[in-house]
Copies of this chain bind each other. A is one copy, B any other.
Amino acid sequence: MSTRALRKEEEENLLRRADDLCRQNNLRLTPIRERVYRELVQSGGPVGAYDLVDRLSSDKKRLAPVTIYRALDFLRDAGLVHRLATQNSYVVSHGQPDVNAMKIMFVDSKTGETIEVHSTEVAEAVRKAAEQAGFKSVSPFMEVEGELSR
């Protein structure tokens, strides 16, 4: 099976999982929301909001920024998408939400490429540090910039 086919299959998996998640939580994955999510899935990496505006607009129909931001807000609230604050961009969240793990988005400083890793070790270490800082709870998401090996 080709890489392309694998990739396609992975895309379908993500879309299906999103559908399921929304159904189970009584959330409405409307056409616009699904198109935004699909675009993020297909891009395979972070995409800016205004890029999404362009990509999802046709000659006939130009979407407004606020439409995209609303869809992104929905997808983020659902846990399907992360915002990368350092990049002003948005990226699909992979992996099933493991409550005990820290979801770390490593962002390549050069290319903007991201890789998501879940780590209970980091979660535990951060939890301890948070306690020191007087924080009772912390977000399970973080973003770390770095350099990719190759």
Contacts and interface: CB of A to CB of B under 8 A. Distances in A.
A103 to B, nearest CB: 10
B119 A134 contact: no
Contacts of A147: 135-138
A20 interface: no
Interface residues of A, number: 35
Interface in A133-150: 133-139, 142-150
A121 interface: yes
A144 B149 contact: no
A99 interface: no
Interface of A: 85-86, 104, 106, 108-109, 115-117, 119, 121-122, 124-126, 128-130, 132-139, 142-150
8 contacts: A106-B135, A109-B139, A119-B132, A124-B125, A134-B150, A135-B146, A138-B145, A142-B143
